[in-house]
Structure 1
Amino acid sequence: MSESFTRFSQAVRQFIPAARVIDDPLRRLAYGTDASFYRLIPQLVLRVENEDEVIRLLQQADAHHIALTFRAAGTSLSGQAVTDSVLVQLQGWREHRIEQNGARIRLQPGVIGAHANRYLAPFRRKIGPDPASINAAKIGGIAANNASGMCCGTKQNSYHTLSHIRAVMADGTVLDTADSDSRNAFAQTHGALLQGLSKLRAEILAKPELAAKIRHKYRLKNTTGYGINALLDFTDPVDILAHLLIGSEGTLGFISAITYNTVEDHPDKATALVFFPDIHIACQAVAALKASPVAAVELIDRRGLASVQSKPGTPEFVCDLPSGAAALLIETRAADAWSLDEQIQQIQQLLNEFSLLNQVPFSKDPHHCAQLWNLRKGLFPALGAAREVGTTVIIEDIAFPIEHLAEGVLELQRLFNEYDYPDALIFGHALEGNLHFVFSQEFSSELAIERYRGLMDAVAQLVAVRFGGSLKAEHGTGRNMAPFVELEWGAEAYAVMRRIKALFDPKGILNPGVIINDDPEAHLRHLKPLPAADPLIDKCIECGFCEPACPSRELTLTPRQRIVASREIARLQASGEDAEQLQALVDAYDYAGDDTCAACGLCALSCPVSINTGDLTRLHRKQKNTARAGKAQWAAEHFSMLTKATRLGLGGADAMHRILGAGAMAKLSHAARKLSKERIPLWHPYLPTAASPCRTDKKAADVVYFSSCASRTMGPARGDAETRSLTEACLRLLEKAGFQVRFPPNTGQLCCGLPFASKGFPDSARQKAEELAQALLASSEDGRLAVFCDASPCTQKLKEAIEQTETGKKLRIYDSVEFIHDFVLDRLTIQKEESPIAIHVTCSAQKMGIGEKLLAIAKRCCNQVVTPEHITCCGFAGDRGFSHPELNASALAPLKAQIQHKGCGEGFSNSRSCEIGLSLHAGVHYHSIVYLVDRVSEKTAEPERV
């Protein structure tokens, strides 16, 4: 590390807290990874929370000549978010403001794109950019890459929908284009920059051929190089500057806020999938459709269709399509149903003029439409899942002039055959001539790298030179196309781009090597290894789509980062090259990777290839806990004894609380936890008291009630207005609705197995799940009676454990939310409450797909239902909230402020353990949704058999 870097590091530690200055090897490796196929490990990672920190950081970088790379979500594919210098991550930055009744929205760069659209949905508006990564990508990256998407076209990207921008320049100066005082001040301090832009504009206007070339290039989607169309589109140099920042990939300044002009989001939509004999006919149809009322037209070639032909929703006839066939996925949108019908008829008449092989007709059904779109969205992950271990997936995006689209596709297919890429497939946003091509690539040998070099050189010549297209249509230039920017634009335009970089960043400290790069082989350097680590994760393409769902994302590692670290550990183990580094990573991973993983599995819901990184964590725990398997087995066989001991412990703690008072109890608890080296859980006022025993021995029954071990042991907290145990509340509600309830015999010994599975004891977990399934089968009279379970984690675990067994096929297991929604509500008269309540949808409820039912129940019971933002899994993770409370605290950090702002006096969920952590970090009591329904309801109907 140089002396200059040391001084810089010391300086930034004066204003960025130590917890947000990351210099350990494990996290530098993990945090340094993005979705591209490049690997650079930063020397330092800094997490910034506000603009003042960014200003001071840039001032220090400017003073010490230290390069910075800003990172939002890291979903970029072209290598623009990696560095071997200082990586700056955004922590927070999620503020938004709706303006002009939804016509505009001001967003900080940490807002996820899909969240912005959620804020705009009540106004039937959305932001223009709609990248495929919108559920994970953040506004900072969307704007900095000028990302577009399936329906965005060339007119609704960030460049064309920009209203105002707030940016921090390379020297730390702030410019807010919405503020006239800021504009005037900037003109005084940075007159040379603005004059330089005006001079560049004048020079281009004086060269008609160059000006014509720029206008021609931006007929297409184009993110290759800087957006020099700004020099022609605007006269005010501040407006030119603002639009140059769009698509600049963090090389010209830091975007701290952006205001978009929003676009209409029509509610009525219809989708069709149309099959053509060959690419030529499909592309002719695209040209004809361009003038019709279509919102999106997606081209899929035959290899692409083959890759998803086994997926749900794919017509059976796809298997029999000829080798040259192609398909168009077409969507049309309208402001009302009548207009939509008119548009469908118009589009269908146009399609009927072409030779069609087959068609999935236009459908308005949201489920069917989503299924068709999932086929298109599944093309990239389909190849990712099928690739050989050790290879990466490369996705490129180019644009041809529409008149050359068919010829371009055929030429690309020829190049794939020539360079031996038999798995390469093509799809894309055909209306704009924008194509993506995807192929697997290994970089472990010089021969493989040479093959990749040859293909990319040939593609560059084909697209940029022969057809005058764009080598990067919407993914940003990055490192992998930086060597080809001059080839596409020519020396004259490239010289303009160099001058722009020099005007904005004279010391070259902002993301060097991206867009402007003098190395003709930059795209062949720093290639990311993807060694085999474990079959559970080997399919991972490191896209980062999993990260927003992870409860430990702000504390230690995300699923992607756990996989990155696991791969590096596996690589070092296989190579034996650095035993010291290996041991350091293994030791650090114990806490960052395993101890603070909630193993909730939410990552699998957003993963393109359905990887559940929690399975990897449970495997690691199993390997570490082999010596303790006997103890786990003893616990499984004496489970009733353990639950009784837990009740005694909770009762004892409550008695001490009653005697000592909250203050003394907290001090005693802190001291005990410190002395025990954090083995004793930390006491707090929301910890439960002991649950009172409750059972029924009714012989006649309508439903079997399995009370989870948490419900059997944990009562309400001292001071809670609710004094009944959950089991008591469930019994009252079920009986109020007319159900006679039966408990399985020996309930105290029964467990779904989740506590054992989460700690890495799968054999004991399996045994307990099988015991419970057999007990429920007997109690339910061989499946005749429904089974009611009062905790969503237990319901989900039990269903997962037995769904493939003969017992599982007989049992009808309902979570309390499902049962109340489907069978209880309509038997009750409900008097809605007015006071706002908070709802938490547990990770298990999300995985079972019953989150909407939980919200529906809450809305039947209360007029003001709040679902706090940025809360996914609560991070309590069974008992991990006791042993590692920092995980729970980090996952719920945004909760309390929202609860207070919305005025919620109470919260509801469907997991007793989760409710402990939620109560602590919200500052209000959380209860099972059962309590709410019971409180607002009266019996109205006779029971029906379920």
Structure 2
Amino acid sequence: MDKGSLGSAVRDLPEKYRQFYLETAQFIPSKRMFADPIRTLAYGVDASLYRITPKIVVKVRTAEEVTKILKICDRLKIAVTFRAAGTSLSGQALSSSVLLVLAGGWSRYSICDNGKTITLEPGIIGAQANQYLKSYSRKIGPDPASINHAMIGGIAANNASGMCCGTADNSYKTIAHMNLIFADGSELDTADRDSCQRFTDTHPHLIGELQRIHDEINSDTELSELIAHKFKIKNTTGYSLNAFVDYHSPIDILKHLMIGSEGTLGFITSVTYHTVFEHPYKASALIMFPDLKQACIAVMRLDRPLVAAAELLDRTSLRSVEGNAGMPDYLKELDEQATALLIETRALDQATLKENIQAIIQDLAGIPVLFPIEFTDVKAEYELLWKIRAGIFPAVGGIRRQGTSVIIEDVAFPKEHLAEAVLALRECMNRYGYEDGVIYGHALDGNVHFVFTQNFDTTDDSRRYQDFINEVCRMVVERFDGSLKAEHGTGRNMAPFVELEWGQRAYNYMKQLKEAFDPDNLLNPDVVITQNPAVYLENLKYMPPVHEIVDKCMECGFCEVNCPSRNLTSSPRQRIVIQREIARLQESGEDYDRQRQLEHDYAYFGEETCAADGLCETTCPLAINTGSFTKYLRSTKVTARGRNIALFMARNFSGVTSLAKLGLAGAHLAHVAMGTCMIGGLAGKARSVTRKVPKWSKWLPKAGSKPQASFVPDKSKQKLVYFPSCVSRTMGPAKDDNDQRPLHQVMMALFAKAGYEVILPPDMEKLCCGMPFESKGYFEAADEMSSQLEKALLACSNNGEYPVVCDTSPCVYRMKRVMKTSPLKILETVEFIHDHLLNRVEVVKVPDTVAVHVTCSSIKMGLTDKFRVIAEACASKVIMPEKVKCCGFAGDKGFYVPELNESALEHLKETLPPECNCGYSNSRTCEIGLADHSGISYQSIAYLVDRCSLEKK
């Protein structure tokens, strides 16, 4: 987005928003504040069924920034919404005003009392918190299904729970302390007596209101009993009124009210949790019952702590995953009424685990089952069973009709009503035409999810959805005394129904709380509390078809954690959101100028800054590779002239690499002659004139050299084919690299130590896997190159008899993908070293601290653990920076779009200890960017292994 366009976007804002932008720009850099159409649209979705475009998006990184912004909003009377990961399912992370997004920062943590408490800033992902606690055999209590993607801020603000935590270990029950910022910009540290006293002194009205409400509720026996009763099961409808029954100090009440308040009462800057024990022994069983009723009766006999989790899976949900890889064959043969319970039990030792299993079987005695109950404590086996549960929601999304939204509702029933209630819910879904919808969930807590697909194309579609939701709400509340929201938060989805569930007296107290904390209704309006009874029917998503690669996307945001451009321009979810809006505009023809502007802006925002690494696929529930979609878009822009140039380059590849070597040699000579500062300054000035000049850094490699076989054939030795990639043939070490040998020499040395006879492909200077062409959308040239390479490798490997080793990970990934039907056995460097070399050499560990970067392609090939094993065998300490995913160098983008590499590696240097002076990876271009942003030499992992290995005697 150019400055002129951004300025125009700000000028078009209403006056008070222009003022907000100007004041906020005094302390927030322009790269973290957006008002332009494409960026605001991109942040206009969360995982819910709503789409609302904010006027201004601000990426905040510190509590000080939030405090200043809230003071401005308070003065200008501008509404503001806080957003963490945006995985929320009820529309609570959306705004039509100012959206504050946690981006960068917010990642500090501390562990105390031998892991019994942990303090977390709100930008830490839940699973990462558990990783910090792993060595203590502890974890945080909340365990939502989104724990690998949701951030602590959202987990606490929504009181997210999950399969095992129930009502005993959720955020409400395990919170110790909080740091908070309120609507007026005031702050509170609930662990600090002085802070609490200052807050009490400066906010007498709020403290007084909390005390008054506490006294009135506790003097009203009927209401206090209602509150206690309703929180015996999971409940996130409205505010946590149980705080007034469970606690007496206004600060304690306030702290617990913030849990589940969804950003409507204040902003959470840190949370201190009491942690829970992580049991080392586990066993699971998938138990099949003849029908839904029998499964629910079985659940009613089970309880904690004997059972850690009991997940209900109806026949429709089982059918949705029965065709997935690894699923048991018997799923396809089940009767139409069959229903499953997936049960897990945990223990401190094996003997207790066996006792638990027998106790569960005894508890279920007499209830008919389709197969004998069998538990497994084998990790691989019970993980496969839980894969069934994990696959249900995405499976529904994957098979939905094009253009429909996936809607997931979550209710809870008292367990004594579970069987009758679930049967009534199923009947209601069928009656409204949602026969394909699924029912599953955390049955041990009476918590049931029901998932269905819905379009909103016509008035009748919307009316059917409205009538269905209203009937379900009345059924849950009036017939079964349940919760309308068990763990997904009220949001705007259930805000109009809070009074229905709680009644007028309790709801009035909730409104009084909102008024006391946020008198001007500036914090996330229309969430939890609303005056608009139709808010749940407004701003519904429209999801027109774009392309088969991305059409299944549910916009859940699970992809975002891996995306290298997420803090620079856009994430995979946002790219799809923009493309859907472009498709909608094309379809409707309503605003051609807007369509053209979005298409123009997307060129940089979505396409040019996409690394196309495909890591999004690894965490997407539907395995959508947005990188493949980007490559497809690039291919649509290929002209006849461009196609012919690409084919010419492919057919004259040795000349292309020779020219590249010549350029690298010239740059290296200039570097040596003029020094780093002078050559860097000249290159920087040239690039400031035109982006066509590549970025120069002192880690730019010198020219590569031609690989040569270093020993004569020996029939007694095992043969292998070594294919040095075009990148490693073209690029040698950099001037400041620790080892000045070219990579092929190092590989040859390793082969020799391990006793291999090496075959080099003839005319290898002509060979390439095609990756450079594919990434730019030149598919024809890419396939022609890979076909030529395959033929050459088949010839020199004796038609696949000898394994083929390639030294560059992205190249191997493409080779394995496009040559998957070939008899070739293709091995990546890490794969070869781990599986075929370490046991043939003697490894002597060096007393070094080394950094390791696992490339995207290595992650997708499942080599992360092997990478770690190799590095730990060679060095005394191995650092694998948790905040670094894809490095963003992306072939040559590190030269021409260096800001992508810079953004992706923003946190690299800070994670490396001072004693770490070398890093290792397995892709030469990635190593350039890693070295540039860390200040230390990065080279292939082969260099480390060669340094530490000796020939076995």
- TM-score tier by shorter-chain length is over 0.9
Q: Paired residue for 2:77?
A: 65
Aligned match for 2:740, one of 692, 708, 723: 723
Q: Is 1:735 the counterpart of 2:752 in the alignment?
A: yes
| Counterpart residue identity of residue 789, structure 1 | C
How far 1:192 moved relative to its partner? 1.4
Could you tell me how far apart the structure 2 residues matched to 1:52 and 1:268 are? 44
CA contact (8 A) 1:836 1:863 kept: yes
Q: Which moved more, 1:363-372 or 1:863-872?
A: 363-372
Q: Paired residue for 1:287?
A: 300
Q: Secondary structure in 1 aligned to 2:805?
A: strand
Q: Paired residue for 1:777?
A: 794
Q: Is 1:164 the counterpart of 2:181 in the alignment?
A: no
CA contact (8 A) 1:312 1:371 kept: no
CA contact (8 A) 1:48 1:90 kept: yes
How far 1:870 moved relative to its partner? 1.1
Q: Paired residue for 2:271?
A: 258
Aligned match for 1:639, one of 653, 658, 667: 653
Aligned match for 1:569, one of 572, 582, 603: 582
Q: Paired residue for 1:82?
A: 94
Q: Paired residue for 1:759?
A: 776
Could you tell me how far apart the structure 2 residues matched to 1:480 and 1:128 are? 26
Could you tell me how far apart the structure 2 residues matched to 1:789 and 1:891 are? 26
| Counterpart residue identity of residue 202, structure 1 | D
CA contact (8 A) 1:125 1:265 kept: yes
Aligned counterparts, 1:179-578, within 5 A: 179-290=192-303, 293-358=306-371, 361-578=374-591
CA contact (8 A) 1:877 1:914 kept: yes
CA contact (8 A) 1:662 1:685 kept: yes
Could you tell me how far apart the structure 2 residues matched to 1:875 and 1:359 are? 52
Residues 650-684 of structure 1, C-alpha deviations (whole Å, 9 max, x = no match): 11110111111111101111122223x11111111
Aligned match for 1:36, one of 33, 48, 53: 48
How far 1:82 moved relative to its partner? 0.6
The 3 A distance-change label for structure 1 pair 314 and 411 is same
The 3 A distance-change label for structure 1 pair 665 and 360 is farther
Q: Paired residue for 2:685?
A: 671
Could you tell me how far apart the structure 2 residues matched to 1:164 and 1:553 are? 31
Could you tell me how far apart the structure 2 residues matched to 1:747 and 1:531 are? 47
Could you tell me how far apart the structure 2 residues matched to 1:749 and 1:146 are? 59
Could you tell me how far apart the structure 2 residues matched to 1:775 and 1:371 are? 40
Could you tell me how far apart the structure 1 residues matched to 2:530 and 2:203 are? 26
The 3 A distance-change label for structure 1 pair 452 and 310 is same
Q: Secondary structure in 1 aligned to 2:847?
A: coil
How far 1:801 moved relative to its partner? 0.7
How far 1:893 moved relative to its partner? 0.4
| Counterpart residue identity of residue 797, structure 1 | R
The 3 A distance-change label for structure 1 pair 912 and 360 is farther
How far 1:291 moved relative to its partner? 5.2
Q: Paired residue for 1:824?
A: 837
| Counterpart residue identity of residue 670, structure 1 | G
Could you tell me how far apart the structure 1 residues matched to 2:856 and 2:336 are? 43
Q: Secondary structure in 2 aligned to 1:258?
A: strand
Residues 307-363 of structure 1, C-alpha deviations (whole Å, 9 max, x = no match): 111123332222222222110001111122222222222223333432110257222
Structure 2: runs of 5+ lacking an equivalent: 1-12
Q: Is 1:46 the counterpart of 2:65 in the alignment?
A: no
Could you tell me how far apart the structure 2 residues matched to 1:368 and 1:767 are? 43
Could you tell me how far apart the structure 1 residues matched to 2:334 and 2:914 are? 56
CA contact (8 A) 1:866 1:902 kept: no
Q: Which moved more, 1:770-779 or 1:433-442?
A: 770-779
Provide the aligned C-alpha RMSD in A.
1.1
Q: Paired residue for 2:3?
A: none
Could you tell me how far apart the structure 1 residues matched to 2:23 and 2:80 are? 15
Aligned counterparts, 1:573-652, within 5 A: 573-627=586-640, 628-652=642-666
Residues 712-752 of structure 1, C-alpha deviations (whole Å, 9 max, x = no match): 01111002221100111000011111111111111111111
TM-score, length-normalised on structure 1? 0.98
TM-score, length-normalised on structure 2? 0.97
CA contact (8 A) 2:237 2:486 kept: yes
Q: Paired residue for 2:31?
A: 19
Residues 537-558 of structure 1, C-alpha deviations (whole Å, 9 max, x = no match): 0000000000000010100000
Could you tell me how far apart the structure 1 residues matched to 2:57 and 2:47 are? 17
CA contact (8 A) 1:272 1:359 kept: no
Q: Secondary structure in 2 aligned to 1:361?
A: coil
Q: Secondary structure in 2 aligned to 1:199?
A: helix
Q: Secondary structure in 2 aligned to 1:329?
A: strand
Large movers: runs of 4+ above 3 Å: 697-701
The 3 A distance-change label for structure 1 pair 291 and 131 is closer
Could you tell me how far apart the structure 1 residues matched to 2:664 and 2:16 are? 56
Q: Paired residue for 2:936?
A: 924
Q: Paired residue for 2:158?
A: 145
CA contact (8 A) 2:361 2:373 kept: no
Residues 236-261 of structure 1, C-alpha deviations (whole Å, 9 max, x = no match): 00010010011000000000000000
The 3 A distance-change label for structure 1 pair 155 and 291 is closer
Q: Secondary structure in 2 aligned to 1:428?
A: strand
Could you tell me how far apart the structure 2 residues matched to 1:8 and 1:932 are? 53
Q: Is 1:937 the counterpart of 2:949 in the alignment?
A: yes
CA contact (8 A) 1:164 1:259 kept: yes
CA contact (8 A) 1:702 1:739 kept: yes
Q: Secondary structure in 2 aligned to 1:363?
A: coil
How far 1:902 moved relative to its partner? 5.7
Q: Paired residue for 1:944?
A: none
Residues 442-463 of structure 1, C-alpha deviations (whole Å, 9 max, x = no match): 0111100000001100100110
How far 1:692 moved relative to its partner? 2.1
CA contact (8 A) 2:613 2:856 kept: yes
Q: Is 1:661 the counterpart of 2:668 in the alignment?
A: no
| Counterpart residue identity of residue 826, structure 1 | N
Q: Secondary structure in 2 aligned to 1:837?
A: strand
| Counterpart residue identity of residue 19, structure 1 | K
| Counterpart residue identity of residue 196, structure 1 | E
Structure 1: runs of 5+ lacking an equivalent: 942-946
Residues 518-554 of structure 1, C-alpha deviations (whole Å, 9 max, x = no match): 1111110111111111111000000000000001010
CA contact (8 A) 1:165 1:257 kept: yes
CA contact (8 A) 2:565 2:903 kept: yes
Q: Which moved more, 1:698-707 or 1:615-624?
A: 698-707
Could you tell me how far apart the structure 2 residues matched to 1:548 and 1:52 are? 25
Could you tell me how far apart the structure 2 residues matched to 1:686 and 1:596 are? 22
Could you tell me how far apart the structure 1 residues matched to 2:116 and 2:944 are? 38
Could you tell me how far apart the structure 2 residues matched to 1:317 and 1:865 are? 45
How far 1:211 moved relative to its partner? 0.6
Q: Secondary structure in 1 aligned to 2:628?
A: helix
Aligned match for 1:686, one of 682, 690, 699: 699
How far 1:19 moved relative to its partner? 1.1
Q: Secondary structure in 1 aligned to 2:279?
A: coil
